[in-house]
Amino acid sequence: MNRYAYFPGCSLKENSKHYEESMLPVFEAIGCPLEELEDWNCCGATAYFSVDGNMAAAICGRNLSLAEKEGKDILAPCAGCYLTLKKSSLFLQSGEPAARKILEDLKRAGCEYQGRSAVKHPLEVLIREVGLEAIRQKVVRRLTGLKVACYYGCQVVRPYTDFDDPDHPTTLDSLMEALGAEAVDYSAKTRCCGGLLTGTIENVGLRLNYLLLKEAKRKGADAIVTICPLCLFNLELLQDKIVKTYKDDVKIPVFFFSQLMGLALGLSRDDLGFSRSTIPLEAFWAKIRNGGHHV
């Protein structure tokens, strides 16, 4: 098993603490303990690429260089961090004159990057390196009877991902089925949640998320499972407003995939950040063996 430098980014330290709280014990349980990348800086997300492309790649270059010095690949659970770091890493290795110049500047600032450190998403590591069979063997509490809508969003599967299909991804569905849950046929699985637009042009953001919630409800899902902090933020925290605006009861719990994986591996619900949900979970716990407490 490779060793990974865990890159939390801003979300996993603030609004999506429960992603970190569940990811770390899950990776520990599968025998791949994660250590946080020392003194990482913010990836810049979509914002920096909108202002200055070279600068965006350069500030990511510092993180890539830090991981390379630790001799590790970067593991980035946030879709924004994952894409931004991966995009920068590919650009810096492209050999283009602008990229070569940035690499020189990085080196001069003490942040040499030779392209040895790669950027991976936890889902990719679970599917490609750990393997579904090994995960299945570790499951002690099958999530039988739980129906989930697997929502991939955009930036993990597009445009650079080679571990899944950009239009019809299936890795999260097969992971959930390995845990014993049923993945419903969720046709909106890669339709965009609008990202930051929910904060900047709200009416557009609300409508996009309404469609996603409605489709999950229509397919009979008990919960939506995400792999991105911003997707979870939009889908979960806008629900009250969406219910009011569209007069349609589309309330549904939204989880990070690592939370459900933790439950299946037998960890206690108290150690997986479930208390951070703003949606009532009574109906959900009724479906989980032992109510989600230690098995």
Partner 1 sequence: MDIERKVKYEHELNAGFLDDIKRLSHCEEIDRCIQCGTCSSSCPMSVYMDHPPRKIIGFIKNGFRDEALRSFTVWLCSSCYTCQVRCPAKIKITDVMYALRREAIKDKIYPRNFSIPVMDKEMTKLIVRDGRNSEMRLILRLYLKSFRPFNLVKMAPLGLKLMKTGRMGLKRNRIKKQGRKQLRAIVKAIKENGQ
52 Cβ neighbours under 8 A, 6+ residues apart = none
Nearest-CA neighbor of 26 among 273, 229, 276, 289?
273
Q: Which is nearer to partner 1, 217 or 241 (CB)?
A: 241
Which helix (H) or strand (E) covers residue 124, if one does?
Answer: helix 122-125
Region binding partner 1 by CB under 8 A among candidate stretches 57-65, 131-139, 172-180, 249-257: 57-65
By CB under 8 A, residue 88 contacts partner 1: no
DSSP notation for 174-203: HHHHHTT-EE---TTTTS---TTHHHHSHH
Region binding partner 1 by CB under 8 A among candidate stretches 127-135, 200-208, 260-268, 281-289: 200-208
Q: Which of 29, 33, 36, 62 binds partner 1 (CB under 8 A)?
A: 62
By CB under 8 A, residue 200 contacts partner 1: yes
β-pairing verdict for 73-75 and 254-256: unpaired
For residues 138 and 29, is the Cβ–Cβ distance under 8 A? yes
- Per DSSP, the three-state class of 269 is helix
Binders of partner 1 in range 95-134 (CB under 8 A): 96, 98, 101-102, 105-106, 108-111
Q: Which is nearer to partner 1, 109 or 286 (CB)?
A: 109
For residues 30 and 57, is the Cβ–Cβ distance under 8 A? no
At its nearest, how many Å lie between partner 1 and the CB of residue 180? 27
For residues 141 and 264, is the Cβ–Cβ distance under 8 A? yes
Q: Which of 10, 29, 130, 139 binds partner 1 (CB under 8 A)?
A: 10
96 Cβ neighbours under 8 A, 6+ residues apart = none
Q: Which is nearer to partner 1, 54 or 268 (CB)?
A: 54
How many Å apart are CA 220 and CA 157, to the nearest integer? 25
Nearest-CA neighbor of 29 among 208, 272, 214?
272
Q: Which is nearer to partner 1, 14 or 248 (CB)?
A: 14
Region binding partner 1 by CB under 8 A among candidate stretches 93-101, 117-125, 260-268, 283-291: 93-101
By CB under 8 A, residue 40 contacts partner 1: yes
For residues 103 and 61, is the Cβ–Cβ distance under 8 A? yes
Q: Which is nearer to partner 1, 143 or 198 (CB)?
A: 198
Q: How many residues bind partner 1 (CB under 8 A)?
A: 64
Q: Which is nearer to partner 1, 179 or 254 (CB)?
A: 254
How many Å apart are CA 223 and CA 253, to the nearest integer? 5
| Interacting residues toward partner 1 by CB under 8 A | 10, 13-18, 39-42, 44-55, 58-59, 61-62, 91, 94, 96, 98, 101-102, 105-106, 108-111, 153-155, 158-159, 166-167, 190-192, 194-197, 199-201, 204, 208, 237, 240, 275-278
